[in-house]
Structure 1
Amino acid sequence: MQTKHPFYIRSTIILLGLVLLVYVLASLREILIPLAFALLLSVLLNPLVNRFEKQKFPKVVAIIISLLLAIVFMVGLIYFLSSQLTGFSNELPVLKQKSVDLFISAQQMATNKLGLSSAKQQQLLHEAENGLQAFLGHSLTTVVGSLTLIFLVPVYSFLFLYYKNLLLNFLYEVFAEKNAGEVSIVLQQTKTAVQSYMVGLLIEGIIVATLNAIALLILGVKYAVLLGVIGAILNVLPYIGGIIAIALPVLMATITKNGYHTQLGIIIAYLIIQFIDNHFLIPWIVSSKVKINALISIVGVLLAGALWGISGMFLSIPFIGILKIVFDRIDELKPWGKLLGDEVPTRLEGSMWAKARRKALTMVQYKRGTHS
């Protein structure tokens, strides 16, 4: 007979477990970050590996070809971005001079309109510069630390794909034999959903990058393709990334163009793209069942950023989406899946709530009867 412990004991054990988990995640970040990227990459490449195996390719060859295609894609993307950045750096002197002119105009406006003295403005700028340097220094350290282990990602991905059946069989054997059927169904559904979710995120990113670039090219913004791709990458970060994605082309237009019509056009175009992304691309391509609500998205991104820096911020949403997929397919964890999702119930549900409500109403009626 199993003993049910009191709530305060169970809650204490859960809190201690969470503290231990956070400590392990923070302490082993150099090891876990490449593993996390490798796991996502292996999930993305698994359908391609299966297709090659169906065409009678040996398993090792199928995995190597899939990894090589992924590496070629990533190298091509990095080469494209670096070539665009090289062209951007050639115009830095002109952009810097235009920025200085805009800064002087803004400083004069702040003095005339807001009554801020030049000394006060310099103090505010100095404080903002120090904060920005600290943030960039922390971010650069995180990126360099991840790059030192980047060569491990293909190795880990190869091993994940090669030992896929071993890992799945381990999950089967962990549970009791009587639950093997249910475990098999949950794992199969989860694997299919996670693969479609990750592939959907990739397709969505390509479409958003294309729409961003087309909009910026039409508006005549310099480095439209570069800014469009960066905007699509930042789109992975909910809300925060969207704001930065709009701010970058607006800043570029402010520096390189006169007037404010282009900036207004950028804001309108990006809002339309965001509307298309949220109401068409995500429901049709990524699947609306894996949409994460705003509260969980923002908190998850900030917590992951505090733990793993920029890498954690980009990994947070895919992993929260995977957790939601798993939670939705296990009866005991379905409430947690609903908590992560964006479907807001119009009323409180559940038999426990109904019983508690009836009990409360009975007590109120009883008290009214005794006082009357």
Structure 2
Amino acid sequence: MVRILRGFAHKYFSDEEAVILGLMLIIGTMFVIWFGAMLAPAIASLIVAFILQGLVTKMLAWKVPEPLAILIVFLLFLGILAGAIFGLMPLVWTQLSNLARETPRIIGELQSYLELLPERYPQLVSLDAVATIYQQVSTEVGQATQWLVTASLSSIPDLLALLIYAVLVPILVFFFLKDRDVLLDSIARMLPPQRATMRKIWHEVNLQCANYVRGKALEILIVGTTTYIAFKILGMPYAALLSLLVGLSVVIPYIGAAVVTVPVAIIGLFAFGWGSQFIWIMVAYGVIQALDGNVLVPVLFSEVNNLHPVAIIVAVLFFGGIWGLWGVFFAIPLATMLKAVVAAWPVRELPPAPTNR
């Protein structure tokens, strides 16, 4: 056992920089676990600035002066933020409230449909099974409706915190963009002067994570907007709410699309029944998902090392278990960063074992 541990240490931690980097990763992870909730505005601002830096870099390549490029990108961010706060979120909240009020009617129609199943398929479905399913669905929907009402009544402190974040995040984003080089130089001064390995790992992590995060933000915007336009044209109710869910579902590949398909199908079914309108909606939704997976994703993430589906599921389970909803949301970027670190980590090959002749 000691020989195995010695060989592992020699292979992965024989470099002084690797030891320092390993300690930094451990300390940084523990710091985020303990103080992540407290520093949520700063972390969110850092991620937003990381996304916007790509636009700043492109404008600098177009010979735009850096202060002007930062100002243009920051004003664009403020416009998108204001549009989301004053345009999208009230519309989504209104549709969510309308859906909560329509829930009793949906449950009634579901009950009527379930009661017909034993008559049509007596060998497959029994009355007891229908009663059990209906009771479970009613209980879950009732709890969800109660949570929605309770949240709307007790969300005043959260709204105040949200207002504070709405002020802090833009300020932090501006300074992260404006003083990016100053902040990076300050961090660099705390590191060892000889850090070729760290530069290599930083370059790999920055390339992979930047391409992934910026591409994913653009994918959310394209998929959400396209879904909203398609649903509005087809007369789908709650189009803004559903398109927001579909857009956010791309954050978690495979799992997100499978989960969001359920509310899309249920609302479409109860709105139009088993008719041609429902079929057209599901066909449009399927086409959007197919184009996203087979056209948009390869174009946006051509420079990113794709994760295996098993790695994606494990990352969602692991980081979701640690940080809850935020862990699920950032599971893939964290897994991408971890993969980039592992790919660039200095490895010293072990000497061949001596052979007895």
Equivalent position SS for 2:37: helix
TM-score normalised to the size of structure 1? Answer: 0.68
Asked if the contact 1:95/1:256 (under 8 Å) is kept, the reply is no
Q: Look up the equivalent residue of 2:333 and give its one-letter code.
A: P
Aligned counterparts of 2:86 and 2:258: Cα–Cα separation in 1: 26
Contact 1:44–1:199 (CA under 8 A) maintained in structure 2: yes
The equivalent position to 1:274 in structure 2, one of 289, 292, 309, is 289
Pair 257,134 (structure 1): closer, same or farther in 2 beyond 3 Å: closer
Opposite residue 95 of structure 2, the aligned amino acid is F
Counterpart CA distance in 2 for 1:190 and 1:323 is 8
- Cα distance in 2 for residues equivalent to 1:331 and 1:263: 55
Q: Would the aligned equivalents of 2:41 and 2:168 in 1 still touch at CA under 8 Å?
A: yes
For residue 64 of structure 2, what is the amino acid of its counterpart? Q
1:42 to 41, 49, 62: 49
1:1-372 residue pairs with structure 2 within 5 A? 6=6, 24-50=31-57, 51=59, 55-56=64-65, 58=67, 63=70, 65-85=72-92, 88=95, 92=99, 95-96=102-103, 98-109=105-116, 113-116=125-128, 120-121=132-133, 123-125=135-137, 128=140, 144=158, 147=162, 150=165, 151-169=167-185, 172-173=188-189, 176-180=192-196, 183-184=198-199, 186-188=201-203, 190-287=205-302, 289-332=304-347
Name the CA shift for 1:250/1:95 in 2 (closer, same or farther; >3 Å).
same
**In terms of mean alpha carbon deviation, does 220-229 or 144-153 score higher?**
144-153
For 1:18 and 1:131, how far apart are their aligned partners in 2? 41
Is the contact between residue 74 and residue 174 of structure 2 (CA under 8 Å) also seen in structure 1? yes
Change (3 A) 1:328 1:173: farther
Deviation at 1:166, TM superposition (A): 3.7
User: Structure 1 residues 229-238 or 48-57, which shifts more?
Assistant: 48-57
Larger RCO, structure (CA 8 Å, separation 6 or more) = 2
What is the CA–CA distance in structure 2 between the aligned matches of 1:91 and 1:159, rounded to whole Å?
A: 40
Q: Does the aligned pair in 2 maintain the 1:172–1:183 contact within 8 Å?
A: no
C-alpha distance in structure 2 between counterparts of 1:171 and 1:200, whole Å: 27
Residues 95, 240 of structure 2: 8 Å contact kept: no
The amino acid of 2:176's aligned partner reads: F
Match of 1:367 in 2: none
Residue 124 of structure 1 aligns with an amino acid whose one-letter code is Q
What is the rounded CA distance, in whole Å, between the counterparts of 1:83 and 1:118 in structure 2? 38
Identity %: 23
Q: How has the CA–CA distance of structure 1 residues 297 and 86 changed in structure 2, closer, same or farther, with 3 Å as cutoff? A: closer
How far apart are residue 331 of structure 1 and its match? 4.3
Q: Which amino acid aligns with 1:75?
A: A
Q: Which moved more, 1:194-203 or 1:148-157?
A: 148-157
Tell me the amino acid that sits aligned with residue 115 of structure 2.
Q
Aligned residues: 330
Measured against aligned partners, the alpha-carbon deviations of 1:301-337 in whole angstroms (never above 9, x if no partner) come to 233333333233222222322333444344449xxxx
Distance change in 2, residues 1:126/1:9 (3 Å) = farther
The Cα of 1:96 is off from its aligned counterpart by 4.0
- Cα offsets for 1:173-209 (capped at 9, x unmatched): 56654544x6545544543554333322222222222
| TM-score, normalisation: structure 2 | 0.71
The residue number in structure 2 matching 1:369 is none
For 2:252, the aligned partner's letter is L
8 A Cα contact 2:227 2:246, kept in partner = yes
Give the secondary structure class of the aligned counterpart of 2:330: helix
Question: What CA RMSD, in Å, does the superposition of the two structures yield over aligned residues?
Answer: 4.6
The answer for the alignment partner of 2:15 in structure 1 is none
The whole-number CA distance in structure 2 between the counterparts of 1:40 and 1:283 is: 23
Name the CA distance, whole Å, in 2 between partners of 1:144 and 1:101: 34
Distance 1:190 1:124 in 2: 46
What's the CA shift for 1:284? 1.4
Equivalent residues of 1:221, 1:253 under 8 A apart: yes
Give the C-alpha shift of residue 250 in structure 1.
1.5
**2:16 alignment counterpart:** none
